[in-house]
Amino acid sequence: MLAAGAALVATSGCGGSSGSGSGSKTTITWSTWGNPEELARFKAFEKDFAKRHPDINLKLQAVPSYSDYHAKLLTQLSSKTAPDVFYVGDDFAGKFVSAGVLAPLNDKMAAPDSKAKPEDFFDGLYGGAKKDGQIYGIPNDANPEVLWYDKQTLKDAGITEDPAALNAQGKWTMATFLDMNRKLKAADKAGSVFYNWYGSTYSMINGFGGKVYDGGKFVGNTDPKSREALKTLADGYQDKTFLVADVLPEGNGADVQFIKHKVGFAAGGRWMIDTVKKGQQDNYDIVPFPSQTGVLMPQTVGTSFLAMNKDTKKAAAAWTFMSEFVSKDGQTLRLKGGGNAVPSVKGAESVVMEGYPAHAQTFIDARDGGFANYPEEAGVPSLTAEINDHLLKLWTGKIGFDQAMNELGSLVSAKLH
């Protein structure tokens, strides 16, 4: 992948390899990842789009696995066969921007007839897709990471307070959350399950009142409260108060354990609706990551971006598709009826407030004040992935805490400078 990435600037191609369709139609190829349910929603959008634009034919190139998607896209870019428009994950946005293969979008977004203006989207969601004021990718939707909780499992552990009720009262604190996790562990349950990514890790650091970056400098390994958060996570992972979802065995992963009442809290986004509905759906609700004081703090938001191949020969038609896909109407169509994400565009919130979960407003609150990784980190290719890989060694006990912190500081400093 790195070799392909290094070759991008020199060899990225003319975009839109499929050419034009029959007659006067323009064919726009676009690519994304997704499961069958997600792809069905994209097909519904394409069908609706065709009614308004019979002169544009959309051709989707779908890759089932996120882990395989970007490697394939990098290969396509280096061989001049890349789609006109494509999804880019938030952990790859900085890499693609730095490679110079994405078309700048500011002028298109600011045009009088644009259906996707810069101010329509929450600024914190651009992450690594925005550099030096220029936008290279538009957040196609968002997934604020929240804490889903199992009421039955909490009850079984003797926990009588409801997290969402505490949050409404301004009493949802990190101390309360950790106390609930201890009670769950004592009842032979796991307290919480987290995926090893910046969302959970940085939300916990923020919840302790720590800092990850300060004045452009990485301080996650030196700030006392940040170290306390990371030590709490490491200790919790090693004594099984917390579970690392990434290393759970196949067939007994995070989703299975959550719906079988083996764990109290599961970090995740709106996509988990389909998971919890496999159990007793009214038994589950959501709450934000806690803060020291009980006041809502900035929450991490998982995003992906829709970007345009810099070398597409069909930029006008590609922009027509892009702008409608990410617009209020486009996101409403894609996300209504139990969709797996939260709109990134202002004015489409109604799709989230469809009655489930009970405190669905938490998704909106988390998005509005949230952020898609720190700009210092998001703009450095592969930095987030390397941080995650390093921390996984700590979570799984392969290295000690002090060694992990020293090496983490060196790793990040080398990448930033």
> Do 258 and 362 have their domain in common?
no
User: Quick one: 250 and 337 in the same domain?
Assistant: no
Same domain membership, residue 187 and residue 95:
no
Domains of the chain: total: 2
Torsions phi, psi for 204 (to 5 deg): -70, -40
Give CA–CA dist 256/262, Å, rounded.
9
Q: Which two tokens stand for residue 265?
A: 């809290």
Residues 50 and 163 in one domain: no
Q: Are residues 333 and 412 in the same domain?
A: no
Q: Which domain holds residue 113?
A: 2-142+303-374
**Which residue's entry shows tokens 């400098």?**
217
pLDDT of residue 411: 98
C-alpha distance across the termini of the chain, in Å? 22
**Which residue in the block uniquely carries the two structure tokens 């922009």?**
319
Q: Look at residue 9 in the predicted model and tell me its pLDDT.
A: 38
Same domain assignment for residues 294 and 170: yes
Strand order in the sheet with 138-144: 56-63, 26-33, 85-89, 301-308, 138-144
Question: Are residues 244 and 368 both part of a single domain?
Answer: no
Question: In sequence order, which residues have a C-beta less than 8 Å from that of residue 200 and are 6 or more positions away?
Answer: 145, 194, 267, 300
Sheet of 284-287: strand order equals 242-244, 190-194, 263-268, 146-150, 284-287
**Same-domain check for residues 277 and 213:** yes
Sign of the torsion angle spanned by Cα atoms 312, 317, 319, 325: negative
Closest to 200 measured CA to CA, from 289, 89, 320: 289
Question: What pTM value is reported for the model?
Answer: 0.88
State the pLDDT at residue 23.
59
Tokens of 230: 């990371």
Tens-level pLDDT at each residue, the chain (417 residues): 333 343 343 333 444 444 444 458 999 999 999 888 888 889 999 999 999 999 999 999 999 888 899 999 999 999 999 999 999 998 889 889 989 999 999 999 999 999 999 999 988 899 889 999 999 999 999 999 999 999 999 999 999 999 999 999 999 999 999 999 999 999 999 999 999 999 999 999 999 999 999 999 999 999 999 999 999 999 999 999 999 999 999 999 999 999 999 999 999 999 999 889 888 899 999 999 999 999 999 999 999 999 999 999 999 999 999 999 999 999 999 998 877 899 999 999 999 998 899 999 999 999 998 999 888 888 887 899 999 999 999 999 999 999 999 999 999 999 998
Neighbouring-strand partners of residue 371: 300
pLDDT at 13: 43
Residues 193 and 261 in one domain: yes
> Residues 342-365, buried b or exposed e (16+ Cβ, 10 A)?
bbbbeebbebbeeebbebbebbeb
Residues 180 and 90 in one domain: no
Angle between helices 328-335 and 315-326 (to 10 degrees): 60
Burial classification of residue 398, based on how many CB atoms lie within 10 Å of its CB (0-12 exposed, 13-18 middle, 19 or more buried): exposed
Residues 406 and 274 in one domain: yes
290 and 359 belong to one structural domain:
no
CATH number of the domain to which 362 belongs: 3.40.190.10
